């Protein structure tokens, strides 16, 4: 069954999104990724879209539907950070992060909902972050955008849950990608001290949870927040 399903991952050209796309390809799905730059991994269809641009995203979505068929599984992964303390945070720092991380999820899921309702089956997976519920100094914009995804998934579950459509949140901790490589080394060492697993995670470890949520095995799980964080956020 899985091989007949079409998956779309936003921001699938690098990092966690790329690992998620690779995992779905390996599992036999038909996989498309949106990318502003670069290409998705081998075996995927890459379409150009900036998730802050509803028209571009709509066109990209239509292109995937035309080439691969109706999209059954959407992974809203594209995200950015613009870290700084509240007193220094500009309107632009706030708006751009919220418009990408939360608005991007809104735009792609809104576009996806009609097709999922028609098919009476769908999987929405939103990539949040441990800091969405844990909080993080210097990340008021980012953590707000990420915790909002929880309300998003839970409201969507209440709207569409009766149609075999699930919506869940995956909350990664520190995962080895460009995003964490950009952190100063002493900051990385400090973070590792607080992670019970004693290490950063691998993007493939996030992808494995996303793949499971997309599967038939996870049909009765919706509105959940699943941490993939080595124990960092326990209780949050
Ligand atoms: P990267 O910075 O490695 O990749 C980010 C991806 O998002 C890229 O594909 C990028 O595209 C895309 N993207 C960013 N802005 C836009 C936009 N406006 N339109 C379309 N695509 C966009 O990040 P990660 O792989 O680390 O992060 C992926 C997700 O996981 C994010 O939502 C992030 O918040 C979340 N996350 C990451 C953690 C980590 O430790 N790495 C921890 C917790 C959550 P492009 O290449 O064109 O810039």
Q: Does ligand 1 have an atom closer than 6 angstroms to the CB of 188?
A: no
Indicate the pairing of strand 122-127 with strand 71-76: parallel
What domains appear along the chain, each with residue ranges and CATH number?
Answer: 2-227 (3.40.50.720)
Which pLDDT score is estimated for 2?
57
Expressed in angstroms and rounded, the spacing between residue 82 Cα and the centre of ligand 1 is: 12
Q: Does ligand 1 have an atom closer than 6 angstroms to the CB of 183?
A: no
Nearest to 129 by CA among 216, 30, 236: 236
Q: Could you tell me which residues are beta bridge partners of residue 74?
A: 8, 124
Check if the beta carbon of residue 21 is closer than 8 Å to that of residue 206.
no
206 CA closest ligand 1 atom index: 30
Nearest to 57 by CA among 106, 102, 115: 106
- What length does the chain have? 236
DSSP-derived letter for residue 14 is S
Q: CB 187: neighbour CB atoms within 10 A?
A: 11
Predicted model pTM: 0.97
101 CA closest ligand 1 atom index: 32
Q: How far is CA 181 from the centre of its chain?
A: 19
For 170, the enclosing helix (H) or strand (E) is: strand 165-172
pLDDT tens across the length of the chain (236 residues): 556 899 999 999 999 999 999 999 999 999 999 999 999 999 999 999 999 999 999 999 999 999 999 999 999 999 999 999 999 999 999 999 999 999 999 999 999 999 999 999 999 999 999 999 999 999 999 999 999 999 999 999 999 999 999 999 999 999 999 888 888 899 889 889 999 999 999 999 999 999 999 999 999 999 999 999 999 999 88
Q: Which residues does the annotation mark as catalytic?
A: 142
Tell me the pLDDT tens digit for each residue of 25-75: 999 999 999 999 999 999 999 999 999 999 999 999 999 999 999 999 999
Task: Report d(CA 57, CA 177) in Å as an integer.
Answer: 24
């Amino acid at each position: 069954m899985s091989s007949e399903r079409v998956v779309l991952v936003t921001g699938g050209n690098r990092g966690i999104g790329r690992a998620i796309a690779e995992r779905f390809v390996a599992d036999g799905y038909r996989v498309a990724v949106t990318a502003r730059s670069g290409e998705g991994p081998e075996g995927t269809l890459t379409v150009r879209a900036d998730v802050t641009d509803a028209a571009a995203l709509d066109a990209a979505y239509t292109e995937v539907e035309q080439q691969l068929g109706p999209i059954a599984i959407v992974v809203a992964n594209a995200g950015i950070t613009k870290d700084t303390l509240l007193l220094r945070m500009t309107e632009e720092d706030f708006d751009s992060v919220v418009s990408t991380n939360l608005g991007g999820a809104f735009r792609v899921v809104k576009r996806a909902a009609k097709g999922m309702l028609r098919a009476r089956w769908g999987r929405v997976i939103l990539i949040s972050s441990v800091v969405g519920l844990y909080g993080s100094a210097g990340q008021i914009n980012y953590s707000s955008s990420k915790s909002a995804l929880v309300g998003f998934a839970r409201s969507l579950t209440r709207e569409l849950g009766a149609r075999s459509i699930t919506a869940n949140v995956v909350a990664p901790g520190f995962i080895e990608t460009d995003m964490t490589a950009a952190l100063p080394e002493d900051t990385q060492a400090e973070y590792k001290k607080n992670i019970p697993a004693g290490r950063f995670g691998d993007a493939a470890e996030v992808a494995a949870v996303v793949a499971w949520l997309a599967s038939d095995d996870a049909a009765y799980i919706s509105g959940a927040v699943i941490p993939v964080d080595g124990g960092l956020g326990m209780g949050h």
